Structure 1
Amino acid sequence: MPADLPNEMECLDIEDVASMLGKSERMIRNYIKDNGLPFVGDGRERRFIWAKVLEWYVAYRINLDGNRGNGLGASSLAPQIPTSETFDEAALRKLRAEADLVELKLASARGEVAAIADVERVLAASSISIQTQLLAVPSRLATQMLGLEDHGRAIAILEAEMRQVLTNLSTIDAVREATGLADREADLS
């Protein structure tokens, strides 16, 4: 091994780098040739130091993609970049991420995870139902309250109506209503 190469535990070959970045070996060679991906050695002796590769790749992606309007510039991302991560630590992090993904898919299959769009649809349907029922109260009570001079009786009528509305709202099957709402929206489009 040439003297300019770090010890073998710190070095990766092109196959390792491609795997860790989720890219093809050809893409890694293109990164070297066209974009300056750092490496040490030459030809078959070419090796990569993971910390330098990761730092380069994050900077490359930031430069390529920009911050996509998230308000974070490159300087605010820098402290979060694990530049001293070893290959073993990165492999472990990747393994954990893959395990988390499998657990998420399993929980989703069990119905333990809800998509944000589904939750938004359920909340929208619930809000519409609440709004509809509350806005219907004045028209239902108008005839009962017309000409009523007994303050106590007026309060009793209002309380009874509000209790009925709250009872109705507590029995809303928001999921069924949201599904119905989604079906109606799909029919309209």
Structure 2
Amino acid sequence: MSRMAAQGLARAVSIVLHPFVVFAALTLLATWMLDREALPRVVAGLGVAIGAVWVFVWQRVSSGRWGTVDASRPHERPLLYAVVLVVVVGLWAWLGMASPLARGVAAAGTMLALAGLLNRWIKLSLHMASLAFAGAAAWPLSPWLGAASLALLPLLGWSRLHLRRHAWPEVVGGTVLGALAGMATW
């Protein structure tokens, strides 16, 4: 495979397995399996949450404050973590503590808070964390989808390394954090 083809594949994998996509898919799966009646409410909350974060990210990139939509430089991440955590708390409140999804949203928020705290020392891969989280959290709902998500981790890890967004410790650390947080939803 040529360097350009590998670069294109790495970008495609990174986009298809972006945390927004992964968390949206997991949330829809969990809603479908646990509380179908809440689907319109969950879709609305998820749309607002992802839209709010995306508008923030797009503003940072289009103003030149960030180099990529991934907030790839460590100094870009603290503000991203703060915005995402506010949005996750809002989504958690919107869904309600009695929602079957509340534990998953709380676990994802805790995972992001820990990654934010660790950012001072290591820029954990949120791509890897979100996919590992989704694989572990989806396992009890659909072992096949959980296994498929986990099977994609090496490809995504290659992508993040190939694009030079992360180093090995960041990829492995993100994976471990995500898997542990995902298991907390069981």
- TM-score of the aligned structures, taking structure 2 as reference length: 0.28
Question: Is the radius of gyration larger for structure 1 or structure 2?
Answer: 1
Structure with the bigger RCO (C-alpha within 8 Å, sep 6+) is 2
Which structure shows the higher helix fraction?
A: 2
